[in-house]
Structure 1
Amino acid sequence: MTPSRTALRAATAAVCAAVLATTGLTAAPAAGAATAGHGRAAAPAVRFVDITGDGGVTLKAHVTTPAHADGSRRYPLVVLPTSWAMPRVEYLAQAAKLAAEGYVVIGYNVRGFWRSGGEIETAGPRDVADASKVIDWALAHTPADPAKVGMGGVSYGAGISLLTAAQDRRVRAVTALSGWGDLIDSIYSGRTQHLQATALLGAAGALAGRPGPELRAVLQDFLGSNLAKEKDMIAWGKKRSPASYVDRINANGAAIMLGNAWGDSLFPPNQYADFFEKLKGPKRLEFRPGDHATAEGLGLFGLPNDTWSHAREWFDHYLKGADNGVDRAAPVQLKPRSTGTYEGYHSWREVASGQRRIALDGTRTLRTGLDSGADGGLVFLSSMLDQLLHLPPTASIPLLPRSLAAVWQSEPYRTAQRIRGTASLHTTLTGTAESGTAVAYLYDVDALGIGRLVTHAPYTFHDRTPGAPFGVDLDLFSTAYDVPAGHRLAVVVDTADPLYIAHNPRGAKLTLSSPASAPSSLTVPVRD
Structure 2
Amino acid sequence: MKCSPLLALLGGALLAAQAWAAPQFIPDLDITSFDGTELDANLFLPDAPPPAGGYPTVLFTNSWALDKHQYLLQAKALAEKGYLVMSYSTRGFGQSGGLVDVAGGNSLSDVSVLIDWLEANYPVGKLGMAGISYGAGLSLLGAAADPRVDAVAALSGWSDVVEGLYPNETVNLVWGTLLVNTAFQRESYIDQVWSDLRGGHNIDGVIEFAAPRSALGFADALNANGTAVLMSNNFADYLFKPNSMTDLYTLLEGPKKLLLNPGTHAVTETLGGNRGHIWATSFRWFDRYLKGEDNGIDREPKVDMTVRISNRLEQFDDFPVTQNSSHWYLHPRLTYFGNGSLRSSPYSGWRWSNEFHGGADTAAGTGIPIVSDALEGFGIPVYTYMPAINGYHAIEYQSPLQWSTLKIRGTASLELWIKPSKPEVQLQLHLYDTDALGMGRLITHAPITLHNAEVGREQKISAEFFTTSYDVPVGHRVTLAIDTEGLIYQKPADTNYEIVVPYRGSRVSRLTVPHL
TM-score by length of 1: 0.88
State which structure, 1 or 2, has the greater radius of gyration over its C-alpha atoms.
Answer: 2
- The yes-or-no answer on 1:478 pairing with 2:451 is no
- The yes-or-no answer on 1:414 pairing with 2:403 is yes
Contact residue 163 and residue 244 of structure 2 kept, 8 A: yes
Helix, strand or coil: the match of 2:369? Answer: coil
Which residue of structure 2 aligns with residue 78 of structure 1?
Answer: 58
Deviations 1:240-285 (A, max 9, x none): 0001111111111100000111111210011111111111111010
Moved more, 503-512 or 100-109: 503-512
Which residue of structure 1 aligns with residue 303 of structure 2?
Answer: 332
**Taking structure 1 as reference, are residues 316 and 113 closer, same or farther at Cα in structure 2, changes over 3 Å only?**
same
1:365 to 355, 369, 372: 355
- The yes-or-no answer on 1:491 pairing with 2:480 is yes
Q: Which amino acid aligns with 2:155?
A: L
Contact residue 361 and residue 519 of structure 1 kept, 8 A: no
Q: Percent identity?
A: 36
Equivalences for 1:196-275 in 2 at 5 Å?
Answer: 196-206=174-184, 210-223=185-198, 225=199, 227-275=200-248
How big is the shift at 1:436? 0.8
Which residue of structure 1 aligns with residue 350 of structure 2?
Answer: none
Q: Which amino acid aligns with 1:218?
A: V
Which segments of 5 or more consecutive residues in structure 2 lack a partner in the other structure? 1-13, 333-352
Q: Which amino acid aligns with 2:265?
A: H
Which residue of structure 2 aligns with residue 460 of structure 1?
Answer: 449
Contact residue 436 and residue 504 of structure 1 kept, 8 A: no
Contact residue 430 and residue 510 of structure 1 kept, 8 A: yes
Contact residue 104 and residue 143 of structure 1 kept, 8 A: no
Contact residue 392 and residue 453 of structure 1 kept, 8 A: yes
Deviations 1:22-51 (A, max 9, x none): xxxxxxxxxxxxx99999932111112011
1:45 to 18, 24, 28: 24
Q: Which amino acid aligns with 1:229?
A: N
Which residue of structure 1 aligns with residue 169 of structure 2?
Answer: 191
Contact residue 194 and residue 499 of structure 1 kept, 8 A: yes
CA distance in 2, matches of 1:524, 1:70: 52
How big is the shift at 1:213? 0.6
Q: Which amino acid aligns with 1:356?
A: S
How big is the shift at 1:356? 2.2
Deviations 1:131-154 (A, max 9, x none): 011000011112322xx0111111
Which residue of structure 2 aligns with residue 104 of structure 1?
Answer: 84
- Moved segments of 4+, more than 6 Å: 35-40, 70-73
Which residue of structure 2 aligns with residue 432 of structure 1?
Answer: 421
Equivalences for 1:153-192 in 2 at 5 Å?
Answer: 153-192=131-170
CA distance in 2, matches of 1:387, 1:73: 40
CA distance in 2, matches of 1:123, 1:436: 32
Q: Which amino acid aligns with 2:482?
A: V
Q: Which amino acid aligns with 2:45?
A: T
Helix, strand or coil: the match of 1:287? Answer: strand
CA distance in 1, matches of 2:428, 2:387: 18
- The yes-or-no answer on 1:149 pairing with 2:113 is no
CA distance in 2, matches of 1:170, 1:70: 18
Q: Which amino acid aligns with 2:404?
A: T
Q: Which amino acid aligns with 2:218?
A: Y
How big is the shift at 1:481? 0.4
Which residue of structure 2 aligns with residue 355 of structure 1?
Answer: 325
**Taking structure 1 as reference, are residues 36 and 121 closer, same or farther at Cα in structure 2, changes over 3 Å only?**
farther
Which segments of 5 or more consecutive residues in structure 1 lack a partner in the other structure? 1-34
CA distance in 1, matches of 2:493, 2:443: 25
**Taking structure 1 as reference, are residues 71 and 335 closer, same or farther at Cα in structure 2, changes over 3 Å only?**
closer
**Taking structure 1 as reference, are residues 125 and 447 closer, same or farther at Cα in structure 2, changes over 3 Å only?**
same
CA distance in 2, matches of 1:456, 1:317: 37
RMSD between aligned residues:
2.0
Aligned residues: 482
Contact residue 309 and residue 376 of structure 2 kept, 8 A: no
Contact residue 417 and residue 502 of structure 2 kept, 8 A: yes
**Taking structure 1 as reference, are residues 277 and 63 closer, same or farther at Cα in structure 2, changes over 3 Å only?**
same
**Taking structure 1 as reference, are residues 46 and 199 closer, same or farther at Cα in structure 2, changes over 3 Å only?**
same
Contact residue 446 and residue 464 of structure 2 kept, 8 A: yes
Q: Which amino acid aligns with 1:492?
A: A
